[in-house]
């Protein structure tokens, strides 16, 4: 049973945001900036953000050549360009909001490894550059195949290397830490371990039912607006939305002496990605090997994919170099019929921003700004 004091001081808010990942924290900040005198509350069911916000690879990326060409097979040029710009603008907003130093942003190079079966993509570089040039002001992609030997990649696989001139890297943990600190500094309340069971619209308010696991009770919170920023887990609150979870497998090595490369790297249409960090290699991806199994919100490791990641390390990235695995984990992303995120007003009180398509770092800040504008204009 909740006390009089708790009911008086902790149950009424103007805005409640569900989810404390990149989008949720950014959305709360956007709302506080638009409504500085309103009480804003963020609810997170885990001690840390549950999905992928603290479990990704820390890529500040906008899409590789083969990924964009694959997108063009399913979408028109305008849609692909719009998504590229959403990623670029989102990264610019994130960097401006938090500062490069606070998120350890760096541009140590971004490259795509091109296999024999993908060499046709090399002839499309000029086309993509021309498509994006009105928005970028300089070519987005350039050949850098001379670096294959310098970086030590296996030439049997890596027939060419394409540089992306607009991508960088950041430290995922520092980014979320900085977003959290900024939200708190603005007077935003954040409660973790708060499981939202459901919400109900009624009259002037939205009722949000939250389980307190310690007391084994449900607390009723009331707010003027609720914003759902739960990405792959959104169907638990909005069962009819087009959201399909996608689990991402990741591992990181112990430090490798004399590692020859820095920066971030993609291959196989972006389904695999790796980077250097603190003298280690972080590699993730491979869900295209087992799409059915990886359409899940379970955080279990997929042994087959984990083995594939190790094979990619030994066969392609650092051939003939010994390494040891330090840690393995997974993150849960959200996909759908298109790569466009869902930013939607479900009513004049209920809003949502989710389905980041594995690009939450890039687009999360911009998507949150769009949500903030929707709430402001309601």
For residue 378, the model assigns a pLDDT of: 86
pLDDT surpasses 90 at 2 = no
Are the beta carbons of 1 and 217 closer than 8 angstroms? yes
For 34-57, what is each residue's pLDDT tens digit? 999 999 999 999 988 888 999 999
Q: How far apart are the first and last CA of the chain?
A: 35
- Kindly report the three-state secondary structure assignment for every residue of 22-91: HHHHHHHHHHHHHCCCCCEEEEECCCCCCCCCCCCCCEECCCCHHHHHHHHCCCCHHHHHHHHHHHHHHH
For 178-213, what is each residue's pLDDT tens digit? 999 999 999 999 999 999 999 999 889 999 999 988
pLDDT surpasses 80 at 1 = no
Fold annotation for 244-335: D-Amino Acid Oxidase; Chain A, domain 2 (3.30.9)
Contacts by residues 338-345 (CB-CB < 8 Å, ≥ 24 positions apart): 338/75, 338/79, 339/71, 339/75, 339/83, 340/79, 340/83, 341/86, 341/367, 342/241, 342/242, 342/243, 343/367, 343/370, 343/371, 343/374, 344/374, 345/374, 345/378
C-alpha 141/C-alpha 164 separation (Å) is: 5
For residue 313, the model assigns a pLDDT of: 98
Tokens for 175? 């980014």
Confidence of residue 311 (pLDDT cuts 50, 70, 90): very high
For residue 336, the model assigns a pLDDT of: 96
What is the H or E stretch that residue 266 is in? strand 264-267
- Mean pLDDT along residues 126-144: 97
Are the beta carbons of 229 and 18 closer than 8 angstroms? yes
Q: What is the DSSP letter of 138?
A: S
Give the other-Cβ count within 10 Å of 309's Cβ. 21
Q: What is the mean pLDDT of the chain?
A: 96
Are the beta carbons of 304 and 289 closer than 8 angstroms? yes
Class of the domain covering 4-53+174-241+338-377:
alpha beta
For 334-371, what is each residue's pLDDT tens digit? 999 999 999 999 999 999 999 999 999 999 999 999 99
For residue 347, the model assigns a pLDDT of: 97
Percent of residues, the chain, with pLDDT higher than 90: 94
What is the H or E stretch that residue 111 is in? strand 110-114
User: Nearest Cα to 188, choosing from 42, 51, 44?
Assistant: 42
C-alpha 352/C-alpha 355 separation (Å) is: 10
How is the chain split into domains, by residue range?
4-53+174-241+338-377, 244-335
């Amino acid at each position: 049973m909740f006390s009089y004091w708790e009911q008086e001081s902790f149950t009424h808010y103007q805005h409640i945001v569900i989810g404390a990942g990149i989008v949720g924290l950014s959305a709360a900040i956007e709302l506080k900036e638009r409504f500085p005198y309103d009480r804003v509350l963020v609810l997170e069911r885990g001690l840390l953000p549950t999905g992928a916000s603290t479990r990704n690879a820390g890529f500040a990326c906008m899409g590789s050549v083969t990924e964009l060409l694959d997108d063009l097979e399913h979408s028109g040029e305008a849609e692909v360009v719009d998504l590229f710009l959403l990623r670029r603008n989102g990264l610019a907003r994130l960097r401006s909001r938090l500062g490069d130093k606070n998120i350890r942003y760096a541009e140590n190079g971004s490259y795509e490894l091109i296999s024999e079966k993908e060499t046709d993509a090399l002839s499309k570089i000029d086309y993509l550059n021309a498509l994006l040039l009105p928005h970028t002001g300089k070519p987005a992609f350039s050949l850098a195949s001379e670096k294959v030997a310098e970086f030590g990649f296996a030439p049997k696989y890596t027939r060419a290397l394409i540089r992306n001139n607009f991508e960088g890297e950041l430290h995922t943990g520092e980014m979320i830490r900085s977003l959290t600190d900024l939200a708190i500094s603005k007077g935003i309340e954040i409660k973790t371990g708060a499981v939202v069971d459901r919400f109900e619209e009624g009259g002037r308010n939205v009722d949000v039912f939250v389980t307190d696991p310690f007391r084994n009770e449900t607390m009723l919170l009331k707010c003027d607006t609720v914003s759902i920023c739960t990405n792959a887990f959104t169907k638990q609150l909005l069962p009819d939305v087009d959201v399909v979870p996608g689990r991402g497998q990741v591992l990181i090595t112990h430090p490798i002496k004399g590692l020859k490369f820095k920066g971030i790297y993609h291959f196989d249409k972006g389904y695999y990605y790796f980077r250097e960090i603190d003298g280690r290699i972080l590699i993730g991806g491979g869900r295209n090997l087992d799409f059915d199994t990886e359409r899940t919100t379970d955080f279990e490791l997929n042994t087959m994919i984990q083995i594939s990641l190790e094979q990619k390390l030994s066969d392609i990235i650092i051939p003939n170099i010994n390494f040891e695995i330090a840690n393995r984990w997974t993150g849960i992303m959200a996909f759908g019929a298109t790569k466009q995120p869902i930013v939607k007003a479900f009513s004049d009180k209920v809003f949502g921003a989710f389905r980041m398509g594995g690009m939450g770092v890039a687009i999360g800040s911009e998507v949150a700004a769009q949500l903030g504008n929707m709430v402001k204009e309601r």
